Amino acid sequence: MNVLGCFQGEELRQEVEIFLDAMPERYVLANDPHHIAAHARFVLESRKKQCAVNVMSLAPPYSEFAVVADDRPGLLAMIAATIAAAHAEVVAAQIYSFMDARGVPRALDLFWLHAGDRVRTGRTLSTRIEKELTKLISGEIKLLDLIGSGVTRSRGYARPSPAVATRVSFDNRGATNDTIIEVTTRDRVGLLYELAYALQQFGLVISLAKINTEGTQVADVFYVTEAAGGKVLNSSRLDELRQCILSAVELDATSAKE
């Protein structure tokens, strides 16, 4: 069944078509029709909200959460901070930007989380994440205030596990307009926030992120551009970016490899 087949006879069908046309092709290829239909319903039901968080699946051991929000620089760092503040771990993620029917830049970000026993109470977890994210977006609280609570920047935290070598690589050939950054390192709570925040502070715009965790190793891929557009091409700036990323994961620069 295709996505539109899930909306036979519904008034939403035309709006779903607009949503599908606005989403990048990689989104359609990465998700099956039933999941896309569920995402579309959530996006359309939330179109009047500045941000919304919803549980899409609670299949153990991970739960899928969807976040819809007005797109803006630093949004991924905000979302990742609220997830870490809720003591949940991101094991995978898909990050997408699109233009809605009103011409408003929006983001649909999908996260697969591990939250221990709270996987069974995902509604409570999503409510907490949405509440904190709304405060961040509205300016009621600042990102540094959330960090200052001591729950997000859990530096030094890691499950007992074998060492994982950290690698940072850049690819300026694999995408037309973006520099592709791949970071492989040891997983820990708050890592996605640390990386997203570091890239934001460096002045980069994240257009796509793909997060994958296998055991205690995480491979995070970010498609980024300079704030004014275009790839990060200056070799000195790439060196500075490497140091910025290494600082975010608290590793000495000598441990990084191409």
Confidence of residue 252 (pLDDT cuts 50, 70, 90): very low
pLDDT for position 152: 42
Express each pLDDT in 102-118 by its tens digit. 899 999 999 998 766 54
162 domain-assigned: no
User: Distance between CA 18 and CA 15 in Å, rounded?
Assistant: 5
Q: 23 with 124, same domain? A: yes
Confidence of residue 58 (pLDDT cuts 50, 70, 90): confident
Q: 141 with 184, same domain? A: no
**20, 37 contact by CB (below 8 A):** no
CA atoms within 13 A on the CB side of 256: 20
Q: 121 with 232, same domain? A: no
> How many CB atoms sit inside 10 A of residue 184's CB?
18
Phi, psi of 211 (to 5 degrees): -115, 125
Q: At residue 53, does pLDDT exceed 90?
A: yes
238 DSSP 8-state letter: H
In the listed set 119, 148, 177, which residue is the last one of a domain according to the structure? Answer: 148
For residue 218, the domain's CATH number is 3.30.70.260
User: Distance between CA 149 and CA 153 in Å, rounded?
Assistant: 9
Q: At residue 258, does pLDDT exceed 60?
A: no
Q: 14 with 80, same domain? A: yes
Q: 118 with 52, same domain? A: yes
Q: 142 with 175, same domain? A: no
69 domain-assigned: yes
Mean pLDDT taken over the chain: 85
109 domain-assigned: yes
Q: Kindly state the tokens that stand for 222.
A: 């970010």
User: Distance between CA 188 and CA 186 in Å, rounded?
Assistant: 7
User: Distance between CA 67 and CA 62 in Å, rounded?
Assistant: 16
Residues 6+ apart with CB under 8 A from 253: 242, 243, 246
- Tell me the average pLDDT across 42-70: 90
Count of the separate structural domains present in the chain: 2
- Comparing 117-121, 137-141, 164-168, the range with the smallest average pLDDT is 117-121
Q: 184 with 103, same domain? A: no
User: Distance between CA 139 and CA 126 in Å, rounded?
Assistant: 20
pLDDT for position 114: 79
Q: 16 with 142, same domain? A: yes
161 domain-assigned: no
Q: At residue 120, does pLDDT exceed 80?
A: no
Share above pLDDT 90 across residues of the chain, in percent, rounded to a whole number: 52
To which residue do tokens 């890691």 refer? 158
Q: 135 with 195, same domain? A: no
Q: At residue 57, does pLDDT exceed 90?
A: no
Higher per-residue pLDDT: 164 or 76: 76
**219, 183 contact by CB (below 8 A):** yes
Q: 132 with 231, same domain? A: no
Domain, as residue range, for 131: 4-148
User: Distance between CA 141 and CA 239 in Å, rounded?
Assistant: 33
Confidence of residue 150 (pLDDT cuts 50, 70, 90): very low
CA nearest to 130, candidates 207, 46, 201: 46
159 domain-assigned: no
Higher per-residue pLDDT: 51 or 250: 51
User: Distance between CA 27 and CA 20 in Å, rounded?
Assistant: 9
Q: 113 with 58, same domain? A: yes
Partner residues linked to 226 by β-bridges: 204
User: Distance between CA 208 and CA 211 in Å, rounded?
Assistant: 10
Q: At residue 227, does pLDDT exceed 90?
A: yes
